Amino acid sequence: MSANEDQEMELEALRSIYEGDDSFRELSPVSFQYRIGENGDPKAFLIEISWTETYPQTPPIISMNAFFNNTISSAVKQSILAKLQEAVEVNLGTAMTYTLFEYAKDNKEQFMENHRPFHSTTSISNMISVETPSTAPSSKKKDKKEQLSKAQKRKLADKTDHKGELPRGWNWVDVVKVFKQNWLERG
């Protein structure tokens, strides 16, 4: 069998196996992503596998450069990629995309045992706050909230329920007045 025939057969198999699986994503007929772990899981990660022209006789390209993996340190990523490369060497010459995804799912805890989540958003917010000190004083004056007196707060609290929402039917009196006026004008 040629490499293209092997790839076509594996593509069909992957589509049928992962049909309806939200974790699997076909980026192109030769490139696939799979999320290992649930969406909210801090130890979840995304693997991308791309086939070369001569795959499966040559190894696929495995990447963890997706934005989803930004909270994973580069050391942990390199460790996962090294372990996946070992699995590639064992399966070279056979269709291995499904095998690699399942291997990663089965060994997720082992792969992520040294993972300490860090948030790259903190460094971005620090950079933003450092870059904008000259505009900060003028915006503080505009953001000042209106202060309410005790009487105003009490009146507002009396109108609303414990959630701060107006009770059902609070404006029905006005509707009744309008209907009454319309009825009197016609009558």
Model pLDDT for residues 5-35, shown as the tens digit of each residue: 888 888 899 899 988 888 898 999 899 999 9
pTM over 0.75: no
Take residue 126 and report the two structure tokens written for it.
């620090």
Angle, CA of 126, 129 and 134, to the nearest 5°: 155
Angle, CA of 170, 171 and 172, to the nearest 5°: 100
Model pLDDT for residues 147-166, shown as the tens digit of each residue: 878 888 777 777 777 666 76
pLDDT for position 70: 83
Amino acid (1-letter code) at residue 83: K
Model pLDDT for residues 33-74, shown as the tens digit of each residue: 999 888 778 888 889 999 999 888 899 999 988 888 888 888
